[in-house]
């Protein structure tokens, strides 16, 4: 079904919302499945480009090198939103295999449009729950960097169990990162920043690059994200946390 958007804007198409059981088997999820509206351009990109740039989710570990048609350092971005950072980093680091994981069609469509426009052949996208990707699809010590930028903060206390940064998450990241690899988290939600810091400081497998208990400011090489700009408009302070896998 085609729905006219605001006059002069791209039209929007209602696409099938991926069923939850196609995205995850976990009962507690860090994401919500939003409505399935994508622009015509995004739908077109999803159809044409996902077969090339998408990696189907696998319940068993895969070798990343054939998926990128080369061996190279691998960086994972979890919840890339519309893909601005994913694309920026892929363009800045052509020597890196950039793997992006996201669940939302419109964000993936947006990212794919950019991937094609910039001819970025070092990007692959998995449309699936990142927790299952980390736990099932990626092999031990296969990643050089994990980026978790502005994850959904799940502000209400009764929703804190949906925050992605939990013991299971740190176990999976510790397993998939190479020794010396980096976990980079950022948030503009102070309470979530404290939550992340507490969990990471208690975990001997990770070493805080800023020193014990310290937060980092945004490294110049980390692009500002869409959600970060929103945080700035709301007057929020942004916290970056960079930890090295021991
Ligand atoms: C608040 S947005 C931030 C997007 C982007 N990183 C930015 O800063 O603009 C969080 C994103 O993470 C995605 N997300 C949350 N949990 C996820 C999961 N378990 N697997 C994949 N994506 C997830 C959501 O769909 C959403 O697009």
CA 84 to centroid of ligand 1, rounded, Å:
12
| Amino acid 18: pLDDT | 73
Residues with CB under 6 A from ligand 1: 30-31, 78-81, 101-104, 107, 129-131, 149-152, 164, 225-228
Q: Are 94 and 122 in contact (CB under 8 A)?
A: yes
* pLDDT band at residue 6 using 50, 70 and 90 as cut-offs: very low
| Amino acid 34: pLDDT | 79
* pLDDT band at residue 1 using 50, 70 and 90 as cut-offs: very low
Could you give phi then psi for residue 21, rounded to 5 degrees? -75, -10
Report the relative pairing of strands 143-149 and 2-3 from DSSP bridges: unpaired
CA 6 to centroid of ligand 1, rounded, Å:
26
Q: Are 206 and 160 in contact (CB under 8 A)?
A: no
Could you give phi then psi for residue 101, rounded to 5 degrees? -120, 130
* pLDDT band at residue 175 using 50, 70 and 90 as cut-offs: very high
Nearest to 98 by CA among 147, 162, 48, 140: 147
Domain hosting 57: range is 2-245
Q: Which residue out of 152, 223, 229 has the highest number of ligand 1 atoms within 8 Å of its CB and is therefore the one to mutate? A: 152
* pLDDT band at residue 20 using 50, 70 and 90 as cut-offs: confident
CATH code of residue 69: 3.40.50.150
What count of other Cβ atoms lies within 10 Å of the Cβ of residue 183? Answer: 27
Neighbour-count burial of 153, counting CB atoms closer than 10 A to its CB (0-12 exposed, 13-18 middle, 19+ buried): buried
Residues assigned a catalytic role: 152
- Distance in Å from the first CA to the final CA of the chain: 52
E-assigned strands of the chain?
Answer: 2-3, 12-14, 37-39, 74-78, 97-102, 123-127, 143-149, 177-187, 206-208, 239-245
CA 119 to centroid of ligand 1, rounded, Å:
24
CA 131 to centroid of ligand 1, rounded, Å:
12
What is the per-residue pLDDT across 53-76, written as a single tens digit (0 to 9) for each?
999 999 999 999 999 999 999 999
> Has residue 135 got a pLDDT over 70?
yes
| Amino acid 5: pLDDT | 40
Domain count within the chain? 1
Q: Which residue out of 24, 35, 81 has the highest number of ligand 1 atoms within 8 Å of its CB and is therefore the one to mutate? A: 81
Mean of pLDDT over the chain: 93
* pLDDT band at residue 10 using 50, 70 and 90 as cut-offs: low
């Amino acid at each position: 079904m085609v729905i006219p958007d605001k006059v002069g804007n791209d039209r929007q198409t209602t696409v099938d919302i991926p069923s939850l059981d196609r995205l995850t088997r976990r009962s507690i999820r860090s994401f919500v499945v939003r409505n399935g509206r994508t622009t015509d351009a995004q739908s077109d990109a999803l159809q044409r480009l996902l077969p090339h740039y998408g990696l189907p989710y696998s319940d068993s570990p895969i070798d990343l090198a054939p998926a990128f048609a080369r061996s190279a350092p691998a960086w994972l971005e979890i919840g890339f939103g519309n893909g601005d950072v994913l694309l920026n980093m892929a363009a800045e680091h052509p020597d890196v295999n950039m793997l992006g994981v996201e669940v939302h069609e419109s964000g993936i469509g947006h990212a794919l449009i950019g991937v094609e426009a910039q001819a970025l052949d070092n990007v692959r996208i998995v449309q699936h729950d990142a927790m299952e990707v980390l736990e099932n699809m990626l092999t031990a010590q296969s990643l050089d960097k994990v980026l978790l930028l502005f994850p959904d903060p799940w502000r209400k206390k009764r929703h804190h169990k949906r925050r992605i940064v939990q013991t299971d998450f740190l176990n999976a990241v510790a397993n998939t990162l190479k020794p010396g690899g980096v976990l980079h988290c950022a948030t503009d939600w102070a309470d979530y920043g404290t939550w992340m810091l507490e969990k990471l400081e208690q975990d001997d497998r990770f070493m805080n690059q800023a020193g014990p208990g310290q937060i980092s400011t945004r490294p110049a090489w980390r692009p500002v994200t869409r959600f970060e700009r929103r945080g700035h408009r709301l007057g929020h302070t942004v916290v970056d946390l960079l930890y090295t896998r021991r």
